[in-house]
Amino acid sequence: MSDIFPTAPAPVVTRLEPDAVPAEIVDHLRAGAIVAPAEVGVIDLDGPEGGTGAVTCFQGLLTNDIEKPGDGAFVYGALLTPKGMIVVDGWAARAGSRVRYTVPAEGRERALQILQRSVPPRLAVTTDRSAATAVLRIAGAHAAAVMGAAGVAVPHTPNRVVEGLIGTVPAEIARATDLAPFVFQITIAAEAIDTVQGRLVTAGAHRATAAALELARVLAGWPGLASEVDEKTIPQEVRLGEIGGVSYTKGCYTGQETVSRLHFRGHANRNLRGLMFETDPPAAPASGWSAVTHEERDVGRVTSIAWLPDGGGSVLGRWIGLAMVRRDVPAGAIVRAAGREARLVGLPFDAPHVAPA
């Protein structure tokens, strides 16, 4: 593999224990709003003022289309190896001659490496803004109402980003898709995070931790770079096509041939699935054991496990999880995952509903 397109590291199982996310936070996800700092890296690709160098270069790397939606676009997508395997995923915000790529913290170095080596400096300059920048994410059914109560001007439609003020703090406010595990993303100077988070809490949001965002990610069936994505993962295996992370109509980008061929002529041999663990008794899936077996066959691996606290609803107060499973194992099948019995279910999970009302 080339140095320009490094592979992802070996995955780990993301695990949220019963004390990681309080039950009241799950209630706020379902019928309120939470605000939490995201553990991310922020990388800017800046072209000459009034030019399109940054957009053109990023368009040739990202699985999604950042060009066609125009200025103010906010899209999810991944950077791939030439063979179509995911190196890093994230959210790209287009503002004038700049593209800002917000990626999981563990993918920051890989994103920087690709951009610095793939983008000619005469067209655009790559800058790591992570240390000076903070990112807050707002999730929950009433996220938009909270933003309004806080006096924050937000994009009226998904997949858009605007610049404005939150009180006196300059901010970039982005609205994700309805399928994403959060509704709004706010990017601000690092020293302003307490001020902005406090304003949102006063407006009705409930302060939460990064673990709550992880639980929302699992509920949404959204892939995690450190867990669902390994060194051989292609976009369709982890639902990037379903959740709006791939454009099949844009021009060429690195790794497109594999992605397009699979979409138009074939299918992935494994897919991301939900796991609903048996509740009687509600014992924890075994730590450090990630095998998934069905009818005594090894059919996949557990990638994320989370305790969903008792807060009401049909699937609360039990262990849930995500797993990469062979496509020939049918939905509804009972499997053994991490040493416990579990049922394979579709994604996203039914409850709680975290999208805006």
Residue-wise pLDDT tens for the chain (357 aa)?
456 677 776 778 999 999 999 999 999 998 999 999 999 999 999 999 878 899 999 999 999 999 999 999 999 999 999 999 999 999 999 999 999 999 999 999 999 999 999 999 999 999 999 999 999 999 999 999 999 999 999 999 999 999 999 999 999 999 999 999 999 999 999 999 999 999 999 999 999 999 999 999 999 999 999 899 988 999 999 999 999 999 999 989 999 999 999 988 888 999 999 999 987 666 788 887 899 999 999 999 999 999 998 755 444 588 999 999 999 999 999 999 999 999 999 999 975 444 443
List, in order, residues 6 or more apart from 240 with CB less than 8 Å away: 63, 77, 78, 89, 223, 246
pLDDT given for residue 264 in this prediction: 87
| Token pair 């593999």 in the structure block, residue | 1
Q: Please say whether the beta carbons of 45 and 101 come within 8 A.
A: yes
> What is the distance between the terminal CA atoms of the chain, rounded to a whole angstrom?
45
Alpha-carbon gap, residue 226 to 15, rounded angstroms: 11
Alpha-carbon gap, residue 26 to 168, rounded angstroms: 31
Cis peptide before 348 (omega within 30 of 0): yes
Q: Please say whether the beta carbons of 26 and 316 come within 8 A.
A: yes
Q: Is 146 helix (H, G, I), strand (E, B) or coil?
A: helix
Select from 284, 165, 299, 273 the least CA-distant residue to 221: 273
Helices assigned H by DSSP within the chain? 23-31, 53-59, 108-118, 143-149, 193-202, 210-220, 256-265
